Amino acid sequence: MSNNAGRVAIVSGGSGGIGRASAERLGADGFSVVVHYAGGKDRAEETATAVARAGGRATVAGADVADEAAMAAVFDAADREFGGVDVVVHTAGIMPLAPVAQLDLETLDRILRTNVRGTFVVDQLAAQRVRDGGAIINFSTSVTRLQIPGYGAYAASKGAVEALTLILARELRGRDITVNAIAPGPTATPLFFEGKSQQAIDQIAALNPMGRLGTPEDITEAVAFLAGPARWVNGQVLYVNGGAA
């Protein structure tokens, strides 16, 4: 914990799922955490309480990730409450599913706004404001490799996230800031369970060599690694999926 004393993280999408688990883990590792939320303030407050219980300090800040002024205020909150930003963990995203032939284009626009523009906004602010020696951690998906029907728009948006991640890592040359993306496989979160039957969930879990879905805590092992000791891992997409092809 002492190695991270005084370090500050912003976790987008921190009100639930992988975001909440990441905030709690970073709190346990000694970080002060700004828990970002889009609509779930009460759940974000619960996350902040959990971070404090784990040993960290926390505050909450709400914003639309695709709104640059609103997200700048989240970074301002980190400055005001904790004195700066060292790590940004950007988990916020949406995952509407439909075959390409049937996807409503308004839904596509919403996916691109949140997942692509939102990541660009957060990364742009992070590139400007994360302190030297810090880390930027984006979230992609193993579906970019698994090519599961119905995930076309979501996977396309995350392909854009990967491209942005790899280029930003090289643009920040000389500042000792790492930029990586974590690409989880199927993980037991509300986002994953939404719209799936129990049979479909069981089938997906059975496909994994480990014989189960991932958990948010499985993913946060990678978050903690990239946020802390992984100073020589940079410009990478890290697949955290239990061995999914």
What's the pLDDT tens digit per position in 183-223?
Answer: 999 999 887 888 889 998 998 899 899 999 999 999 999 99
| 40 has pLDDT over 50 | yes
Mean pLDDT of the chain: 95
User: Is position 28 within any domain?
Assistant: yes
Beta carbons of 241 and 185 less than 8 angstroms apart: yes
Give residue 216's domain range.
Answer: 2-240
User: Is position 162 within any domain?
Assistant: yes
Place of tokens 């942005």: 164
**Structure-token pair, residue 2:** 């002492």
Beta carbons of 91 and 14 less than 8 angstroms apart: yes
Beta carbons of 192 and 241 less than 8 angstroms apart: no
Total domains present in the chain: 1
User: Is position 245 within any domain?
Assistant: no
**Contacts of residue 175, Cβ cutoff 8 Å, sequence gap at least 6:** 132
Distance in angstroms (rounded) separating the CA atoms of residues 61 and 73? 8
Catalytic residue among 37, 151, 154, 239: 154
User: Is position 197 within any domain?
Assistant: yes
| 2 has pLDDT over 70 | no
Beta carbons of 20 and 53 less than 8 angstroms apart: no
Beta carbons of 221 and 180 less than 8 angstroms apart: no
pTM of structure: 0.95
Region 141-148: mean pLDDT is 92
Q: What is the CATH number of the domain that holds 121?
A: 3.40.50.720
Region 137-152: mean pLDDT is 94
- In whole angstroms, how far apart are CA 217 and each of 11, 66, 126? 15, 27, 24
Instruction: Print burial letters for 32-61: b (CB count within 10 Å at least 16), e (below 16).
Output: bbbbbbbebeebbbbbbebbeebebbbbbb
Q: Is 154 part of the annotated catalytic residue set?
A: yes
Distance in angstroms (rounded) separating the CA atoms of residues 225 and 227? 6
Q: What is the DSSP letter of 214?
A: B
Distance in angstroms (rounded) separating the CA atoms of residues 191 and 90? 15
| 3 has pLDDT over 80 | no
User: Is position 123 within any domain?
Assistant: yes
The residue type of 11 is: V
Cβ neighbour number for residue 67 with a 10 Å cutoff = 14
Beta carbons of 186 and 213 less than 8 angstroms apart: yes
Region 59-70: mean pLDDT is 98
pLDDT at 1 (0 to 100) = 43
Min mean pLDDT across 29-33, 107-111, 134-138, 198-202 is at 198-202
**Structure confidence by residue, pLDDT tens digits, 11-29:** 999 998 999 999 999 999 9
**Nearest residue to 17 (alpha-carbon basis) of 231, 192, 227, 243:** 192
* Residue 227 pLDDT grade (very low, low, confident, very high; cuts 50, 70, 90): very high
**Contacts of residue 177, Cβ cutoff 8 Å, sequence gap at least 6:** 130, 132, 133, 134, 135, 136
